[in-house]
Structure 1
Amino acid sequence: MKLIIADSYEAASLEASKILLEQIKENPSSHLGLATGSTPLKLYEYMVADFKENGTSYKDIKSFNLDEYFGLEGTHPQSYRYFMMENLFNHVDILPENIHVPAGQGDIQENCDAYNAMLATEGVDLQLLGIGSNGHIGFNEPGTPFTQVTHCIELEEGTRQDNARLFFDGNIDEVPTHAVTMGIKNIMDSKKVLLMAFGENKAEPIRVLVEGEVSVDVPASVLQNHPDVTIIIDKAAASKLTKK
């Protein structure tokens, strides 16, 4: 596990963009596992800027998103497919057929099975993650077995409140109650993991991830067992770490 503590959100995001761009340049046909939410927004800005300035190509890249709200069409402004299109995919040369996001509608078990089969066949070279204030990765809430693959999960009230504040104008009633997410096993099967976290509300899950016991109570702690993990955080997220 490699830990990078940056001076700011912008500095951390720039560092993360260097890692992702290095992956793309070393392997232009990389399979990237991507994340949504407020955490990677600046990272995606840097990637778009690099594309415009340096022409780093995504035409042979395949993307596999972590999760999607259940019940939202991909065209809904709060869906994660829409988020990815608006913040990254519409601004680079990735091919539409190479964009993969879990389906949030239809037969949910069929959709999960299909996504698992695709991940098993394609594999992920580098998986980008955030971390929830309760330690979730993807939408794998506390208590999710480490053997779990892509599944539909009921979101905890705290997760919905966090997302309401960030993306639903504070209205928790607008936040879906369920989501489709890669399972912890899918995440652990990726060759590399890059996790980003910012702010004091992430300090406790980061402490457990870096220094605590591996437990389903804090799903991110399983990353201690992954062979290639880089964690990039700001000073606020690092504030509860005790070891040098």
Structure 2
Amino acid sequence: MKVIITKDYATMSELTAGIVLEKMMESKRVNLSLTAGSTPEGMYRILLDKLSKIEMDTSLINYYNFDEVPLENERYGLTMSTLNKDFYEPAKIAKENIHELNLENYQTFSRKIIQDGGLDLIVMGVGADGHFCGNMPGTTGFDKDIYSCELVPGSDGFQLVEKITGKTPGPETVTFGPKTVLGAKQLVLIANGEAKAKIIKQVLEGPVTEEVPSSILTTHPNITVILDQEAAQYLNKDLLK
């Protein structure tokens, strides 16, 4: 595990964008799974700027969303609508290069990933409760592949989606499980801000437990954790050597 501490959010975003861009520029098919939400917004702004200034063949770059929360009466769920807005549409990503995970195809999506050559890079954030993708504390088995789970009306998750979108979420979500994520060739975990500091300490210093789902990510042989100083403030200095 490689842990990188940056001075601020902007530097964290720049470094993460650089890793993604380097992967994009490999002269072969590249399969990426990139997070949605507020944490990667800076990364996407930087990527869009850099991609607008260079000439490269993007036909071999493929994208896979790693979770989805369907929204009633909407074509796209929360994750895909955010990725479309923040990156896919402004970057003019071809539809055939976007591989959408949803409730209709999740049971065969693992097979698709394998047939496509596996995932080269997953960039993820971490929740203040330690969740990653849609893997929530106390309900996630580390042996799970891609799976669906109930979203109970009135639950914290249900209310959060309502607050973010102003729309009613569907009754189920779908997500890459730990087994799927750990099968990727490279992982990048990003976090910023004081609100993430306590959970980052738990995630990186252990123990590995299903109560802190992101703790399992530290077992991956090729994971880079990129934090700003606020998110890293409680870490044991020995971890950074």
> What is the aligned partner in structure 2 of residue 226 from structure 1?
220
The corresponding residue for 1:130 is 125
Indicate conservation of the 8 Å contact 2:31/2:62, yes or no: yes
Cα distance in 2 between the residues matched to 1:72 and 1:115: 22
**C-alpha separation in 2, matches of 1:241 and 1:111:** 40
Q: Distance in 2 between matches of 1:233 and 1:227?
A: 19
Alpha-carbon distance in 2 for matches of 1:56, 1:242: 41
2:109 — aligned with what? 115
What is aligned with 2:78?
Answer: 79
Q: Give 2:81's aligned amino acid.
A: Y
Residue identity opposite 2:11 in structure 1: A
1:213·1:221 contact (CA, 8 Å) conserved in 2? yes
Alignment CA distance shift 1:149-1:75 (3 Å): same
SS in 2 for 1:26: coil
Selected match of 1:147 from 139, 143, 147: 143
1:176-211 per-position Cα deviation (integer Å, ceiling 9, x unaligned): 564211111110000000111112221122112211
Q: Is the 8 A contact 1:75 1:81 kept in 2?
A: no
Distance apart, 1:115 and its partner CA: 1.5
Partner secondary structure for residue 225 of structure 2: strand
Is the contact between residue 74 and residue 82 of structure 1 (CA under 8 Å) also seen in structure 2? no
The match for 2:94 is 95
Distance 2:27 2:130 in 1: 31
1:83 is displaced (CA, Å) by 1.3
Letter of the 2:24 partner, please give it. I
CA, structure 1 residues 12+56, in 2 after alignment: closer, same or farther (shift >3 Å)?
A: farther
Shift of 1:28: 4.7
Rate the CA distance shift 1:27–1:186 in 2: closer, same or farther, 3 A. Answer: farther
Partner residue in 2 for 1:53: 53
| Offset at residue 145 of structure 1 (A) | 0.8
Change (3 A) 1:163 1:11: farther
Q: SS of 2:33's equivalent?
A: strand
Tell me how far 1:4 sits from its aligned partner.
1.0
Within 2, Cα distance between the matches of 1:72 and 1:112? Answer: 18
Shift of 1:20: 0.6
The aligned runs of 1:11-90 (5 Å cut-off) are: 11-72=11-72, 75-76=75-76, 79-90=78-89
C-alpha distance 10-187 of structure 1, shift in aligned 2 (>3 A): same
> Following TM superposition, by how much is the alpha carbon of 1:92 offset from its aligned partner in structure 2, in angstroms?
2.3
Structure 2 CA distance for partners of 1:27 and 1:145, relative to 1, 3 Å? farther
Q: Is residue 217 of structure 1 aligned with residue 211 of structure 2? A: yes
SS in 2 for 1:44: helix
Q: Identity rate of aligned residues, in percent?
A: 30
Question: What displacement does 1:153 show?
Answer: 1.9
| Residue identity opposite 2:191 in structure 1 | A
Q: Identify which range, 51-60 or 31-40, moves more after superposition.
A: 51-60
State the aligned residue count.
Answer: 234
Looking at structure 2, the residues matched to 59 and 102 of structure 1 have their Cα atoms a distance apart, in angstroms, of 20
CA deviations on 1:185-241 (whole Å, 9 max, x unpaired) are: 110000000111112221122112211111111111111210100011111211221
Q: Partners of 1:7 and 1:162 in 2: how far apart? A: 30
Task: In structure 1, give the amino acid aligned to 2:189.
Answer: L
- Contact conserved, 1:131 with 1:196, CA < 8 A, in 2? yes
Deviation, 1:89, is 1.1
- Cα distance in 2 for residues equivalent to 1:155 and 1:207: 28
Q: Measured at CA, do residues 240 and 158 of structure 1 come closer, stay the same or move farther in structure 2, by a change above 3 Å?
A: farther
Counterpart-to-counterpart distance in 1, 2:150 and 2:199: 20
